[in-house]
């Protein structure tokens, strides 16, 4: 009985996620669900995307945090459309929360929506918020064993971002161990190494975002049967 109820709730969540995706498509917006540990550099990665895509695509952001509007204030200062969701005790954003937020975002003014999920490598992975792809973010400071210990995200994400590579000389982070662990979980997933601090690698991150959107539009053209 309990199992059946839980499945129903999850199905309802999936329906809302699918509805969100439809709304986003109608407005020509491609959404990404950005997932990573607290402090891994999610907001910094969004700031980097904004700078890389200036004049190419407009980014809007939904910020998920248990409390405070710090990240939203930070992004708005840069000039981004950003909306904060506070989850209280919730360890992830739900499709329903995003559905509500979508009505407050000027979707016709943006091309890409990045949803910064609550800092957590586990719970956010189970929910489809309406995104085209999940972006998995890890940083050097967290250690090289995250793919092995938290495989869910690394199986589902479309790309892995390894941030804070400027710290590699000062830590025991082993690239070899990181890639070995990751390839067991997901042999083909692309990885972008970068530093939001120094700017190294952020060009590749901007190119990945634009490339993903362009491929998606190609696939969705009516002559391709979608």
Ligand X SMILES: Nc1nc2c(ncn2[C@@H]2O[C@H](COP(=O)(O)OP(=O)(O)OP(=O)(O)O)[C@@H](O)[C@H]2O)c(=O)[nH]1
Residues of this chain that interact with ligand X (CB under 6 A) are 36, 38-44, 65, 71, 119, 163-164, 166-167, 195-197
Q: Is the dihedral of CA 45, 48, 50, 55 positive or negative?
A: negative
Other CB atoms within a 10 A radius of the CB of residue 56 amount to: 13
Interactions with Mg ion, residue window 20-49 (CB under 5 A) = 42-43
Token pair for residue 165? 């590579």
Q: Does 144 bind Mg ion (CB under 5 A)?
A: no
Q: Does 164 bind Mg ion (CB under 5 A)?
A: no
User: Considering only 65-73, 75-83, 98-106, 150-158, which stretch makes contact with Mg ion by CB under 5 A?
Assistant: 65-73
Residue closer to ligand X, measured from CB, 99 or 166: 166
Token pair for residue 169? 């000389």
Q: What is the rounded CA–CA span in Å between residue 33 and residue 83?
A: 14
CB of 71 to Mg ion, least distance (A): 4
CB of 30 to ligand X, least distance (A): 21
Q: Identify whether the C-beta of residue 62 lies closer than 8 Å to the C-beta of residue 43.
A: no
CB of 130 to Mg ion, least distance (A): 20
Residue closer to ligand X, measured from CB, 16 or 52: 52
Other CB atoms within a 10 A radius of the CB of residue 165 amount to: 19
CB of 164 to ligand X, least distance (A): 4
Q: Which residue is nearest to Mg ion (CB)?
A: 43
Q: Identify whether the C-beta of residue 30 lies closer than 8 Å to the C-beta of residue 24.
A: yes
Q: What is the rounded CA–CA span in Å between residue 119 and residue 84?
A: 14
* Beta bridge pairs of residue 81: 60
102 binds, among Mg ion, ligand X, none (CB under 5 to 8 A by kind): none
Interface residues toward Mg ion, by CB under 5 A: 42-43, 71
């Amino acid at each position: 009985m309990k199992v059946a109820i839980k499945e129903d709730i999850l199905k309802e969540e999936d329906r809302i996620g699918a509805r969100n995706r439809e709304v986003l498509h109608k407005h020509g917006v491609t959404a990404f669900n950005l997932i990573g540990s607290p402090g891994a550099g999610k907001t910094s990665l969004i700031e980097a995307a904004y700078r890389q895509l200036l004049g190419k695509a407009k980014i809007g952001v939904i910020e998920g945090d248990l409390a405070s509007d710090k990240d939203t204030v930070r992004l708005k200062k840069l000039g981004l459309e950003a909306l904060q969701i506070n989850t209280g005790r919730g360890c992830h954003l739900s499709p329903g929360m995003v559905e509500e937020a979508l009505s407050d975002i000027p979707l016709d003014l943006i091309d890409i929506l990045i949803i910064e999920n609550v800092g957590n490598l586990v719970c956010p992975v189970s929910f489809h918020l309406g995104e085209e792809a999940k972006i998995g973010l890890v940083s050097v400071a967290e250690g090289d064993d995250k793919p092995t210990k938290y495989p869910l995200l690394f199986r589902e994400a479309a790309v892995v971002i390894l941030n804070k590579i400027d710290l590699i000389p000062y830590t025991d982070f082993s690239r070899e161990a990181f890639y070995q662990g990751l390839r067991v979980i997901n042999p083909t997933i692309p990885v972008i190494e970068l530093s939001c601090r120094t700017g190294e690698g952020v060009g590749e991150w901007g190119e990945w975002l634009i490339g993903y959107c362009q491929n998606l539009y190609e696939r969705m053209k009516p002559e391709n049967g979608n």
